[in-house]
Amino acid sequence: MKRIMIDPAKCDGCKNCSVACMEAHRTDGGSGVYTLDLTDPNNISRNRIVSDGKGGYDPIFCRHCDVPDCAGACMSGALVKNMENGLVEYDEKKCAACYMCVMSCRYGVPAISPDRKRMIKCDFCAHLEEGPACVRACPKGAIEVKEVGEWSDM
C-alpha cells in the first residue's frame, strides 16, 4: 500500500498542500485556484499544517492507518479499510454523521462538514489519476507518496 510520507523538517508552512487539497475537493463546479473560495467552510482542507511553536511546522495528514481508529468506530459502514489499496475509504452515502470517527481518531484528523451531514477526511484524491494533489503541490518535497509494503494486521 501507499502512504503519504511526511518529513516535517522540510515543511515551510506555505500551506500549498492545503490549498491544493481544497481545490481538489471543491464542489462548486469551478476549477483553478484563482476561483477557489478560500473563505467557504465547505472548502476546508483535509490536511492541516500546524506550527510546532519552535519555528517549524507539523503537517497533520490522514495516515490511512494500518489499524484505523476511525473505521473501527464506524457504525454505518461508511468508513472501511480497503485491504487492496490500503486506503481508509469513505462512502458519504452510507455515513450517518454520528462522528464516532471524529472522536476515535487519536491524531484528531477527521473533521465534520459545515452541514453536519458528513465527515471530512483525506481520500488520497482517488478521483485524480495523478494522485494526491497535496503531494504535487508541495514545493519542498516534505510530503511524498511512498510504498510502505503490505498491510499488516497488528
Partner 1 sequence: MNACYNCNTCPSADKPMEEYIRHLPRETSHHRVATQKTKCGFGLQGVCCRLCANGPCRITPDAPRGICGANADTIVARNFTRAVAAGSGCYIHIVENTARQLKNTGLSKGKIRSEKALDHLADLFGITGATDKWDLAVKVADAVLSDLYRPEYEPMELVEKLAYAPRVKRWKELGIMPGGAKGEVFNNVVKTSTNLSSDPVEMMTSCLRLGISTGVYGLMLTNLLNDVVLGDPEIRMAPVGMNVIDPDYINILITGHQHSLFTYIQDRLTDEDVVAKAKAAGAKGFKLVGCTCVGQDLQLRGAHYTEIFDGHAGNNYISEAVLSCGAIDAVLSEFNCTLPGIEPICDELKIKQICLDVVAKKANAEYIPYNFATREADGEKIIDEIIDAYKERRGKVPMNLFPDHGNKNTLTGVSEGSLKAFLGGSWKPLIDLIVSGKIKGIAGVVGCSSVAYGHDTLTVELTKELIKRDIIVLTAGCSSGGLENVGLMTPEAAELAGPNLKAVCKELGIPPVLNFGPCLAIGRLEIVATEIAAELGVDLPQLPLVLSAAQWLEEQAIADGAFALALGLPLHLGVPPFMTGSKLVTRILTEDMVSLTGGKVIIDPNGVSAADKLEAIIEEKRKALNI
Partner 2 sequence: MERYVIIGAGAAGIAAAATLRDFKPEAVITVLSIDEHVHSRCMLHKYLGRERDVEGIGFVAPDFFDKHDITHISCETATRIDTAGKTVYFGEGYSLPYDKLLIATGAGFFIPPIPHFREAPNVFGFRDLSDAMKIDEAFGKGKRVFIVGSGLVGLDAASALCERGAEVTIAEMAERVMPLQTDDYAASVYQKAFEDHGCRFLLGIGASDAVVDGAGNITEVILSTGEHVPCDFVIMAAGVRPRIQIAVDSGIAAERGITVDEHLRTSAPDVYAAGDCTGLSGVWPDAMDQGKVAARNMAGIEEVYEKPYPFKNTSNFFGITMLSVGRLDQTEGAEVLVHHTPTEYKKAVVKDGKLTGYLVLGNISNTGLYLYLIRNGVDLSDKLDHLFQLTFADFYGINEKNGEYAYAR
The one-character DSSP state at 127 is T
For residue 31, state whether it binds partner 2 (rule: CB under 8 A): no
- Applying CB under 8 A, which of residues 14, 33, 36, 60 lies at the interface with partner 2? 60
Which residue, 56 or 139, is less far from partner 1 as judged by CB?
139
CB of 17 to partner 2, least distance (A): 15
Residue with cell 495516515: 63
- Applying CB under 8 A, which of residues 38, 75, 85, 128 lies at the interface with partner 2? 75
Tell me which residues touch partner 1 (CB under 8 A). 14-16, 18-20, 22-23, 32-45, 137-139
Question: What per-residue string of b and e applies to 100-113 under the rule 16 or more CB within 10 Å gives b?
Answer: bbbebbeeebbbee
Which residue, 27 or 39, is less far from partner 1 as judged by CB?
39
For residue 148, state whether it binds partner 2 (rule: CB under 8 A): yes
Give residue 15's identity as a one-letter amino acid code: K
Query: Within 10 Å of residue 8's Cβ, how many Cβ atoms?
Result: 14
* Continuous H helices in 25-112: 69-73, 100-104
Give residue 144's identity as a one-letter amino acid code: E
The one-character DSSP state at 33 is G
For residue 6, state whether it binds partner 2 (rule: CB under 8 A): yes
Residue with cell 510530503: 143
| Residues of the shown chain interacting with partner 2 in the complex, contacts defined by CB under 8 A | 3-6, 8, 48, 50-53, 58, 60, 63, 65-66, 69, 72-77, 94, 96-112, 115-116, 120, 146, 148-149, 153
